[in-house]
């Protein structure tokens, strides 16, 4: 398991500590809060740049525990995530939460979504420690599995 800056995720269901499979690899996520058009166009944009369907097949987490708590349901888990190699992380120092990015786009079109995403300077790294420890925001983790520790 890789050492890393703290990574957190709020879950809608209760999970037990242990190694968890990334269910989104075989069962892509459908957006709950993000406009479906923005979600689909963004997913294609990330795939074209990083060869990863970042909005539908990654584990979406945060380096900010306060942000993770907002996504935890009353009966769900709040987890600290430990990455298991191999993995890749997509993030932008300009994006705290993708929802904020999606709210910037009125009447979404491919051109508007691409323009917005390009302006955010998203990066893809294969070592979580290459991200500044002061970064507080959303990260999209492309992995087969991860270790969950309830907190």
For residues 101 and 116, give the distance between their C-alpha atoms in angstroms, rounded to a whole number.
Answer: 7
Selection from 122, 43, 120, 118 nearest residue 89 by Cα: 122
Would you list the domain boundaries of the chain? 8-150
For residues 65 and 48, give the distance between their C-alpha atoms in angstroms, rounded to a whole number.
Answer: 30
Backbone angles phi, psi at 110, to 5 degrees: -55, -45
User: pTM to 2 decimals?
Assistant: 0.93
Give, for all 151 residues of the chain, the pLDDT tens digit. 445 689 999 999 999 999 999 999 999 988 888 889 999 999 999 999 999 999 999 999 999 999 999 999 999 999 999 999 999 999 999 999 998 888 888 889 999 999 999 999 999 999 999 999 999 999 999 999 999 999 9
């Amino acid at each position: 398991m890789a050492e890393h800056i703290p990574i957190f995720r709020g879950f809608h269901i209760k999970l037990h500590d242990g190694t968890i499979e990334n269910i989104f690899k075989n069962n892509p996520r459908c957006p709950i809060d993000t406009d479906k058009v923005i979600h689909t166009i963004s997913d294609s944009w990330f795939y074209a740049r990083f060869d990863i369907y970042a909005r539908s097949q990654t584990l979406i987490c945060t380096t900010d525990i306060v942000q993770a708590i907002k996504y935890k349901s009353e009966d769900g888990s709040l987890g600290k995530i430990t990455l298991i190699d191999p993995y890749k992380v997509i993030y932008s120092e300009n994006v705290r939460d993708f929802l904020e990015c999606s709210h910037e786009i009125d009447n979404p079109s491919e051109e508007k979504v691409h323009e917005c995403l390009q302006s955010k300077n998203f990066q893809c790294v294969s070592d979580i420690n290459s991200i500044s420890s002061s970064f507080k925001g959303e990260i999209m983790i492309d992995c087969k599995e991860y270790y969950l520790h309830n907190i």
